[in-house]
Amino acid sequence: MSIDTPTLVPQSAAGAVPAGAALDLIRTQPYTDWAPAVAAETRATLRRELEQGAVLYFPNLHFPFQSGEERFLDSRWSDGKSKNINLRADDRAVRGATGSEKDLADLYALIRRYAESSESLIHALFPEYIPHMTRAGTSLRPSQIAGRPVSWRKDDTRLHVDSFPSNPMLGKRLLRVFHNIDPAEPRVWRVGEPFGDFAKHFVPKTHGMWPGQAWLMKQLHITKRTRSEYDHRMLQLHDLAKADLDYQKTVPQQEFRFPPGSTWIVFSDQLLHAAMRGRAMMEQTIYLDPQAISDHTHSPEAVLTRMLGRPMLAA
């Protein structure tokens, strides 16, 4: 399926999607500024769409390089061990990169500026989130993603929702701001059916934790904190989706090409997504307390709680 598909069915991100149907999950926005003035009514619409699982897409929201920064569009800055160059919030050390002291300082300035721009965008669009948000990692991903030799579990060209084995979220939401910083190549994504439909497909194949399992994983430093049932189920959903090649092919989905210089925002723990091609991207992760969400109908934790008939975050 491509964006040229002539008959995209207009589709609320919330509703069930018939097999084989095309989706239309991209909501295009006019803003050109990282701190736009947005009317309250528009903000409410954007928030509803985002929380329902749509992609907020800003084709004209550019993140310009400052002089000399174009040199970072090259995988030679990666240290070869990690796939991304990362900056943790409140850290001054860029991780996963090699270069001279000056290069690393310039790289820090670039990534830090992206973190600040992303944060100001979220502040401007969703002021209600401000008391509930925490800046997490910022990354520069300067390598082509197509054709990379990775295990199926790490293969982000397969549709998945984000979930991390060692970093239990305990219900905190993953809000991400992406920017295609490559001057020439689009970043090609696939996005898939609403979380509720995805969950219906795979939750029956997931299982709970053994008594003591969460405690033991924490003791053995497999997890940074005690894993909740929510995290345990989300991780299985991530793996089950990636392992099922038939599902990957047949699930209702949409391909979208984010052009150079464009920006997009998603809840990546909710939206089924896959990154197929693309050379250089920047990404900001924000953790959001669940109480920030105004419409819980579609949040993964609410969907799992409803399906399994008990709270997912109990100790």
* Binding stretches for ligand SIN (CB under 6 A): 141, 145, 156, 162, 187, 268, 273, 275, 278, 281
- Nearest alpha-carbon partner for 307 in 251, 250, 223, 230: 230
Return the number of the residue (162 or 231) whose C-beta is nearest ligand SIN.
Answer: 162
The interface partner of residue 193, options being Fe ion, ligand SIN, none and the CB cut-off 5 to 8 Å by kind, is none
The interface partner of residue 281, options being ligand SIN, Fe ion, none and the CB cut-off 5 to 8 Å by kind, is ligand SIN
Find how far residue 46's CA is from the centre of its chain: 17
Q: Judged by CB under 5 A, which stretch of 110-118, 123-131, 159-167, 177-185 contacts Fe ion?
A: 159-167
Least Cβ distance, residue 162 to ligand SIN (angstroms): 6
Measured between alpha carbons, how far is 170 from 175 in angstroms, rounded to an integer?
Answer: 15
**Quick one: which of 51, 162, 197, 283 contacts Fe ion (CB under 5 A)?**
162
Residue 74 DSSP code: S
| Residue in the block written with tokens 């054709």 | 147
Q: Is 111 left (phi over 0), alpha (psi -120 to 50) or beta?
A: alpha
Question: Using the rule CB under 5 A, is 283 a contact of Fe ion?
Answer: no
Find all residues with CB under 8 Å of 310, minimum gap 6, and list them.
Answer: none
The interface partner of residue 141, options being ligand SIN, Fe ion, none and the CB cut-off 5 to 8 Å by kind, is ligand SIN
Return the number of the residue (162 or 301) whose C-beta is nearest Fe ion.
Answer: 162
Tokens in use for 134? Answer: 């925490």
The interface partner of residue 269, options being ligand SIN, Fe ion, none and the CB cut-off 5 to 8 Å by kind, is none
Least Cβ distance, residue 156 to Fe ion (angstroms): 5
Least Cβ distance, residue 260 to ligand SIN (angstroms): 13
Q: Are 301 and 171 in contact (CB under 8 A)?
A: yes
Measured between alpha carbons, how far is 315 from 310 in angstroms, rounded to an integer?
Answer: 12
Q: How many residues does the chain have?
A: 315
Tokens in use for 313? Answer: 């975050």
Least Cβ distance, residue 238 to Fe ion (angstroms): 9
Least Cβ distance, residue 32 to ligand SIN (angstroms): 22
> Helix %, strand %, coil % for the chain, to 5?
35, 20, 45
| Residue in the block written with tokens 């549709």 | 159
Measured between alpha carbons, how far is 137 from 284 in angstroms, rounded to an integer?
Answer: 6
The interface partner of residue 206, options being Fe ion, ligand SIN, none and the CB cut-off 5 to 8 Å by kind, is none
The interface partner of residue 145, options being ligand SIN, Fe ion, none and the CB cut-off 5 to 8 Å by kind, is ligand SIN
The interface partner of residue 171, options being ligand SIN, Fe ion, none and the CB cut-off 5 to 8 Å by kind, is none
Quickly count: other Cβ atoms within 10 Å of residue 7's Cβ.
5
Measured between alpha carbons, how far is 315 from 299 in angstroms, rounded to an integer?
Answer: 20
- Number of residues located near Fe ion, criterion CB under 5 A: 1
Return the number of the residue (162 or 197) whose C-beta is nearest Fe ion.
Answer: 162
Nearest-CB residue to ligand SIN? Answer: 275
Q: Judged by CB under 5 A, which stretch of 78-86, 160-168, 174-182, 191-199 contacts Fe ion?
A: 160-168
User: Helix and strand tally (H, E) in the chain?
Assistant: 7, 10
Least Cβ distance, residue 83 to Fe ion (angstroms): 12
- For Fe ion, the binding residues (CB under 5 A) are 162
